[in-house]
Homo-oligomer: A and B are copies of this chain.
């Protein structure tokens, strides 16, 4: 046990009951994996909010994106005894060949003066848009590059899940850049600055049919953050260890004197999610200098072990302040929590 996280004393800091449903008739089922950033002196989280319709006796209910509604959302009810309704998968409803989801994720801002006590916006900040995001948008990283914030998130649609990108300068007006990495891919974060004359991103292709490769962390280069090439794997899952089944990047890497420090998640075949660190060369981030042998944080508290999906710690949002790095994380796919680390202490574990 080498958990070196200092958890916030009043974790969890946000619970589904703290979040108002997007429209009447919905229930906020889970809060998940927030992006984090500072803007105009405040700390912000960009929460993933998973909602479902309230139960209705005799009906199976689904939530769908619908640009024709003022709210952008629509609830559908299907009679359970209708022979053309397929309910065999609890996550979805298939009706006349079309698939609807029972829960749907959007992104919503929460703001704080102190980085600990957050107020959640009353409405969604960003909903999925178009068929590539028809099943929602999830797990958004927020990377500030100059005055612009780049949002990279999992875009989920009928054709698979890939990485979508949106940018904003003022958090009022948003520019959509489409899918920057094709399916199956997620866990993408941009670096906050150019290295040499190139931008870099970490991402996580998913193991495809055929079984070659795995759920590994890759790095890619770009001239403009919109178009990506020269993809290389930098971290595989490691059989027998805490990150044996899959690994994925968290938030934008932190520049330290010893290299780019990336706090990433690793999971076992049993889906126990812990956090570890990768240290990448400052001038060539395709080179891995060091990697955690043991997790720097693992599910130990009640709220990390018991929840919607237990024993999960997942981060995609950090805020830096000198030697302190605050990690915001989703715990057991239900609540949002915070913990601080000393960068020096993390680097010490990597020696």
Determine whether the beta carbon of B160 is less than 8 Å from that of A184.
no
Query: When the two chains form the complex, which single residue of B161, B180, B231, B233 contacts A213, counting CB atoms closer than 8 Å?
Result: B161
Tell me, yes or no, whether A142 is within 8 Å of chain B by CB: no
Shortest Cβ distance from residue A286 to the other chain B in the assembled complex, whole angstroms: 10
The stretch from A61-69, A204-212, A270-278, A290-298 touching chain B is A204-212
Query: When the two chains form the complex, which single residue of B135, B156, B203, B207 contacts A208, counting CB atoms closer than 8 Å?
Result: B207
**Known contacts A205-B160, A209-B206: does B230 contact A182 (CB below 8 Å)?**
no
Tell me, yes or no, whether A49 is within 8 Å of chain B by CB: no
Shortest Cβ distance from residue A152 to the other chain B in the assembled complex, whole angstroms: 12
Residues in B with CB closer than 8 Å to A177 are 229-230
Residues in B with CB closer than 8 Å to A224 are 223, 227
Chain A 188-224 interface residues, beta-carbon cutoff 8 Å to B: 203, 205-210, 212-216, 218, 220-224
CA distance A203 to B228 in the complex (A): 14
Tell me, yes or no, whether A102 is within 8 Å of chain B by CB: no
Interface residues of A, count at CB 8 A: 45
Determine whether the beta carbon of A222 is less than 8 Å from that of B227.
yes
Query: When the two chains form the complex, which single residue of B209, B214, B222 contacts A159, counting CB atoms closer than 8 Å?
Result: B214
**Known contacts A159-B236, A205-B160: does B212 contact A180 (CB below 8 Å)?**
no
Residues in B with CB closer than 8 Å to A215 are 209
Query: When the two chains form the complex, which single residue of B156, B182, B208 contacts A220, counting CB atoms closer than 8 Å?
Result: B182
Shortest Cβ distance from residue A299 to the other chain B in the assembled complex, whole angstroms: 23
Chain A 2-56 interface residues, beta-carbon cutoff 8 Å to B: none
Tell me, yes or no, whether A232 is within 8 Å of chain B by CB: yes
Determine whether the beta carbon of A213 is less than 8 Å from that of B178.
no
**Known contacts A182-B231, A184-B208, A231-B178: does B213 contact A159 (CB below 8 Å)?**
yes
Tell me, yes or no, whether A316 is within 8 Å of chain B by CB: no
Query: When the two chains form the complex, which single residue of B180, B182, B185, B223 contacts A218, counting CB atoms closer than 8 Å?
Result: B182
Tell me, yes or no, whether A158 is within 8 Å of chain B by CB: yes
CA distance A135 to B316 in the complex (A): 34
Interface string of A127-146 (1 = CB under 8 A from B): 00000100100000000000
Interface string of A173-184 (1 = CB under 8 A from B): 000011111111
Residues in B with CB closer than 8 Å to A206 are 184, 208-210
CA distance A177 to B230 in the complex (A): 7
Tell me, yes or no, whether A226 is within 8 Å of chain B by CB: yes
Interface residues of A (CB under 8 A from B): 132, 135, 156-162, 177-185, 203, 205-210, 212-216, 218, 220-224, 226-233, 236
